[in-house]
Amino acid sequence: MNAMLNAALNQIKETSLLLSEDYSDKKTFKKVIEKILVPQKIIKGKISITGKSGKKKTFKAYRIQHNDARGPFKGGIRFHANVSEDEVRALSTLMSLKCAVAGIPYGGAKGGVVVDPSKLSKEELKNLSVAYAKFVTPYIGPWRDVPAPDVNTDGQVMSFMLEAYEKKIGQMAPATFTGKPVELGGSLGRTEATGRGGAYVLQSYVKLKKLNIKTSSVAIQGFGNVGYYFAKFVSKLGFKIVAISDSSSGIYSSKGLNIQALSEFKDKGGAFKDFPIEKGMKLISNEELLGLSVTVLVPAALENAITKDNVENVSADVVFEMANGPTTTEADNYLYEKGVDVIPDILSNSGGVTVSYFEWVQNLGGYYWTEEKVNDELKKTITKAFADIDKIKKDKRISYRRAANYLSLKRIIDAMILRGRV
């Protein structure tokens, strides 16, 4: 069992101990928890494409559907060399919790293909997307399971998958996939939604703690879609971003970085190790970034960034999780004991799935919103979720992660009991 799956299951087990006092029927409660610990369906197999050389290439593929008590399964599809069954299972579990925290009517799922997409031609990427869509077609649909982009997949990949799915079922079904281009029924504001939502949560946290935004320093590990937009939005809010990194290197300046210049450099395909360093700036490693003495540390890359091996180096006042599962259980416990607030991923990066929900609603209704409406609804939804979690944190005297898990797990348990899934 990998670290992220172990952490996800431990979160549920620990939270169930807190929640048990809310339920008089202990036998039913125990049965429900046992069911939540196990996904409802594991779909796995192999998909094949014809490679550029004419040879057949075969890849392991997964779709894991965790729980649909609150609504259709929902979750992204990732193309990555390190995809595994345990990882996909962990992410599907976290998606159930994330959707419940946000208060949107979905369950959790996740999908993936074990592949290094950088080694695929454009035609091979298209063929792989089509093959995966055909592989999962019997298990997905607008009221069954709604996939979306994740690591190394995007709106173009969703477009290929939508086309393959619709051909297979013989009818249009745009609500089956979210994260699509606007031209194919995607929502305005979806591309920036995860980063924007995170900025709204951080703004709420800082306001609650009565911190001065302009003197609050931020270090961001990761400059993919999530880190990129999060950096842009928090910079606009007035936060001082002193460090940021991509997979090649990190850049640090105690006076604050010019996010616009960094964004323009990345838009042109540059790597931070090649960024023209000015006076007062220096290159740092990703590990050095995690150890910076800042107000807010933002892991926004891949999972397991903060572990028992490096957590003692963390010197931030707050860890703000924008990646999925960036903090292991041991590291999380250490930070809690140290008095460091950890704003959990299931809240802080739920902006993406929230606007995916808005996209689904728009597809089903055939009526499309303005970007202003999308952003307004996102802010309302995600700030309410933060307020709900903060209240539980204070009432129960627990961490933000435990409060978020408490709220989400309770919503799932109540839905399962109402449905008679005991």
93 marked as part of a ligand binding site: no
**Distance from C-alpha of 350 to C-alpha of 95, rounded to nearest angstrom:** 9
Q: What is the pTM of this model?
A: 0.92
pLDDT at 329: 86
Task: Find where tokens 């990703």 sit.
Answer: 286
From 290, 196, 189, select the one nearest 234 (Cα to Cα): 196
Q: Greatest CA separation found in the chain?
A: 65
pLDDT tens for the chain, 422 residues: list them.
Answer: 887 898 889 889 999 999 999 999 999 999 999 999 999 999 999 999 998 888 899 999 999 999 999 999 999 999 999 999 999 999 999 999 999 999 999 999 999 999 999 999 999 999 999 999 999 999 999 999 999 998 899 999 999 999 999 999 999 999 999 999 999 999 999 989 999 999 999 999 999 999 999 899 999 999 988 999 999 999 999 999 999 999 889 999 999 999 999 989 988 888 999 999 888 899 999 999 999 999 999 999 978 899 999 999 999 999 999 998 899 889 999 999 999 999 999 999 999 999 999 999 999 999 999 999 999 999 999 999 999 999 999 999 999 999 999 999 999 999 999 999 98
Give catalytic residues, as residue numbers: 110
Q: Which of 68, 12, 90, 35 is nearest to 304 (CA)?
A: 90
The pLDDT of residue 396 is 94
Which among 352, 358, 216 has a CA at the least distance from the CA of 293?
216
Distance CA 266, CA 246 (A): 10
Tokens encoding 133: 């869509």
Q: What's the pLDDT at 366?
A: 96
Which domains does the chain show, CATH number per domain? 40-184 (3.40.50.10860), 187-422 (3.40.50.720)
Q: How far apart are CA 245 and CA 116, in angstroms?
A: 21
Structure tokens at 304: 């397991």
Q: In a 10 Å sphere around its CB, with 0-12 CB exposed, 13-18 middle and 19+ buried, how is residue 151 labelled? A: buried
Q: List, in sequence order, every residue forming a beta bridge with 49; answer none if it has no partner.
A: 57
Does 225 carry a binding-site annotation?
A: yes
What residues contact residue 242 under an 8 Å CB cut-off, 6+ apart? Answer: 217, 218, 219, 252, 253, 254, 255, 256, 257, 292, 294
Q: Which two tokens stand for residue 91?
A: 């992410």
Strands 56-67 and 107-114: antiparallel
User: What is the 3-state secondary structure of 240-309?
Assistant: EEEEEECCCCEEECCCCCCHHHHHHHHHCCCCHHHCCCCCCCEEECHHHHHCCCCCEEEECCCCCCECCC
Q: How confident is the model at residue 115, as a pLDDT? A: 98
Residue 356 annotated as part of some ligand binding site: yes
Using CA atoms, how far apart are residues 93 and 102, in angstroms rounded to an integer?
Answer: 15
Q: Tell me phi and psi for residue 211, to 5 degrees.
A: -90, 155
| Pair 345, 332: CB distance under 8 Å | no
What local confidence, expressed as pLDDT, does residue 147 receive? 98
